[in-house]
Structure 1
């Protein structure tokens, strides 16, 4: 066989360990017309509730011109109303930062995951690490690992401790102290707010505690706020606490932390049901060196011209944009109630969520149906096989202290949600 680099050989092993949902061939996915018997993947966070509305708007209001098909650098000349100009204003209008976001303290790139990967490449040497508490969004692992080869050290917090509370901080500290002896070197910590997969926001005191931790141990604090515009009420949490961006917090609260350590990533693709249009923004208001490095890194890896045109049209139309975001929250809330009702019907524990596009269920009793004497990994494998056979798939929450928790993405049209739940009933062996 022709030679492969050591990092490529390591990457092959990583690919083999990916979740089943990442291995499904495109032709296996459900389509109401083209493939009605296909697998309904309820583990991919795409807001299909609002995609038709966004599509209709763009068809009527977006215009492409010749420069949108040029290299990004030359296309920027003479066109002031690009997404690079509009996206900072979008963050200012929706996240209310104390210091305005500008093109000078932010970088727009092809997706939040891509920006996280570039950020890790800039701040970590080969084999160094970021920390994150469990459970966590599984995509952070490949974002960090490829191409920068940054490790992701997962911190297990005891089940009785809320991982979003400041009570989780001592467990992060323990991990840092152990890493000083056994490695790897920790360079930063990732905080996902609102949390994926738990669907809740971090209290402000927790964010302050994270900032203090970063200062104490000379770390970067990278805050992923991509679901910040998706907090909604539900029957389980009728008055959800508001999302507060790290950019909006009182500076005196964070005064003990060098603000150059704090970086925020966000973006409109999740808000507008357009995950396939890769676009994100990294904001570092007090670290011009990071901005300079990332700006250079994204120069030849910029967002495509048509994506630029689409989002510039949508987020510059502030009246329509604000209506859209509010309507999205309303529809997300309605869809969540379908999941709550179904879980209550089948006595499946569901954890109260009020942010993002996913709910967490405890399938302990369901997993027992797949062999009381089997190891947990075997039960999960058998459950996955049963779900795929039934034409539906949800996934575990990640490296979780509660291994029986699964995440279901519910932002789908009602008829798709109901079909997916019907198939889950078949896979779980539940009565109708």
Structure 2
């Protein structure tokens, strides 16, 4: 089920010393508990000693993993109960991308993705693992419909027959970055059947799961965990979810992400590799306190969604008033996908190509005081699209939008 090098990590057992029943730490008052001379640690007596030690190991304490399992149960509605043993923490989802790539692919293998999609997957996945990212074009089809699976299959078969690339996994963003949409239950079931048909893994990056603010149930987030694969004839061992606190809890600096899986070999490989992606125990302690505070979570998340929706609406109004096209249906995340292709320099398009013209457009936007991720970075099918982030202070958002709309108006006039 996992790659040769993944098996090597799974067998290495690099985290085995931290597994097993939890040990009672020595208490100086009662003189009870285990006296550990096993780790070379210089403990500060002024703090909770566990926060500045190796504690329970590199994959998150049992208490943190239990708190995350409770969050998953409450908000992700898993079809199969999630236990702390199904969860491995690392210092961010970036590291978990690397862990999954190393565990599921061998050099030269491939992972299938959509177009457009989060651009940094290139660095997170292919650079450390020496494998290929295979991008799927949709040619105008709705990438969130069940019919889109046919496009994945076309790309999968083309890679296998024309280039000999063995695709080992499909990676999706749900909610999607940069389109801000969620996959329906029907589409996710179709994706699962596709993965079962070709025996490839499904990695669902659900880092924006609780930043969804659609007005209709049909817009809402459906976790892949909420779909029981057994009645569909799909192996649970093929399904893996990535989640973290960076987005939904406005805590990118904590550098905490987790892998949720029923695949024991993958989890064993991840446990070994977590040694090289160890999250700070101070971060783990903060995250545990946040997740265990049910009242805080139940208050914070609706407020966050309300603010995101308000900022999204502000950005939409500005774009619509300026006549700037953007991808419709965004109900999640922090961004809008806008079409500035009208501002591409026709001479550069003719002489050097549309992607060179997009790079030129990006430079001109920077000169006006606006920096955005471009379509090329997100492997878009056509040039001229950019990602606007609206999860910033209101005044900053207003100024940035005004600079974009003024630039668009000026550039459009010149094209005429």
TM exceeding 0.5: yes
Instruction: Using CA pairs under 8 Å that are at least 6 residues apart, name the structure with larger relative contact order, 1 or 2.
Output: 1
Contact 1:107 1:281 in 2 (8 A): yes
> Is contact 2:59–2:279 with CA below 8 Å preserved after alignment?
no
Q: State the secondary structure of the residue aligned to 1:276.
A: helix
Q: Deviations over 1:96-118 (max 9, x none)?
A: 11222212112111111211211
Aligned twin of 1:367: 344
Comparing 391-400 with 203-212, greater Cα deviation is found at 391-400
Kept in 1, the 8 Å contact 2:229–2:235? The answer is: no
1:86 aligns with 2:67: yes
1:195 paired residue number: 176
1:194-222 deviations in whole A, cap 9, x for unaligned?
11111011111111111111111111111
Q: CA deviation at 1:351?
A: 2.0
Q: Say which SS state the counterpart of residue 190 (structure 1) adopts.
A: strand
TM-score by length of 1: 0.78
Asked if residue 327 in structure 1 is aligned to residue 303 in structure 2, the reply is: yes
Structure 2 residue aligned with 1:302: 278
| Alpha-carbon distance in structure 1 between the residues aligned to 2:59 and 2:357 | 54
| Residue 358 of structure 1, aligned match among 335, 351, 368 | 335
Which of 262, 266, 269 does residue 239 from structure 2 map onto? 262
State whether residues 98 and 250 of structure 1, in contact with CA within 8 Å, keep that contact through their aligned partners in structure 2: yes
Aligned match of 2:156: 176
Alignment of 1:186-265 (within 5 A): 186-233=167-214, 241-251=219-229, 255-265=232-242
Q: How far is the alpha carbon of 1:189 from its aligned partner?
A: 0.6
Contact 2:58 2:279 in 1 (8 A): no
The verdict on how the C-alpha distance between 1:421 and 1:376 changes in structure 2, with shifts beyond 3 A counting, is same
Which whole-Å deviations, capped at 9, do the CAs of 1:106-135 have from their partners, x for residues lacking one? Answer: 211111121121111011111211001111
Which is worse superposed, 241-250 or 320-329? 241-250
Choose which of 369, 387, 399 in structure 1 pairs with 2:365: 387
Residue number among 417, 424, 428 corresponding to 2:404 in the alignment: 424
Q: How far apart, in 2, do the equivalents of 1:319 and 1:329 lie?
A: 16
Segments of 5+ residues of structure 1 without an aligned counterpart are 1-62
Q: Aligned partners of 2:218, 2:198: CA distance in 1, in Å? A: 33
- Given the superposition, is the C-alpha separation of residues 75 and 115 from structure 1 closer, same or farther in structure 2, using an over 3 Å criterion? closer
Counterpart CA distance in 1 for 2:210 and 2:382 is 28
Structure 2 unmatched runs, 5+: 1-45, 412-416
Whole-angstrom CA distance in 1 between matches of 2:216 and 2:261: 34
Contact 2:189 2:227 survives alignment (8 Å): no
Alignment match, 1:27 = none
Q: TM-score, normalised by structure 2?
A: 0.81
* CA spacing shift, 1:366–1:71, aligned 2, 3 Å: same
CA deviations on 1:340-395 (whole Å, 9 max, x unpaired) are 11111110112221011111111122225886745312321221111221221112
Change in Cα spacing, 1:179 to 1:332, as seen in structure 2 (3 Å) is: same
Counterpart Cα distance in 1 of 2:160 and 2:354: 32
Where 2:272 maps in the other structure, the secondary structure is helix
What is the CA distance between 1:89 and its match in structure 2? Answer: 1.6
Q: From the CA coordinates, give the structure whose radius of gyration is larger.
A: 2
Determine if contact 1:64/1:309 at 8 Å carries over to the other structure: no
**1:299 partner SS:** helix
Determine the C-alpha separation between the residues in 2 that align with 1:170 and 1:73: 45
Partner of residue 408, structure 1: 388
- What is the rounded CA distance, in whole Å, between the counterparts of 2:264 and 2:390 in structure 1? 39
1:55 corresponds to which residue? Answer: none
Change in CA separation of 1:223 and 1:177 when aligned onto 2, cut-off 3 Å: same
Task: Give, in angstroms, the shift of residue 274 of structure 1.
Answer: 1.4
Taking structure 1 as reference, are residues 320 and 147 closer, same or farther at Cα in structure 2, changes over 3 Å only?
same
Measure, in 2, the Cα distance between the counterparts of 1:430 and 1:239.
40
Partner residue, 2:248? 271
Alpha-carbon RMSD across the aligned residues, in angstroms, is 2.3
- The 3 A distance-change label for structure 1 pair 125 and 74 is closer
Query: Does residue 347 in structure 1 map to residue 323 in structure 2?
Result: yes
Separation in 1 of the partners of 2:115 and 2:386? 13
Aligned pairs for 1:20-169 within 5 A: 65-73=48-56, 81=63, 83-159=64-140, 161-169=141-149
The offset of 1:171, in angstroms, is: 2.0
CA distance in 1, matches of 2:59, 2:359: 50
Cα gap change, 1:100 to 1:379, in 2 (>3 Å)? same
* Structure 1 counterpart of 2:294: 318
Give the Cα separation in 1 of the matches to 2:356 and 2:155.
Answer: 30
Give 3-state SS (helix, strand or coil) of 1:180's partner: helix
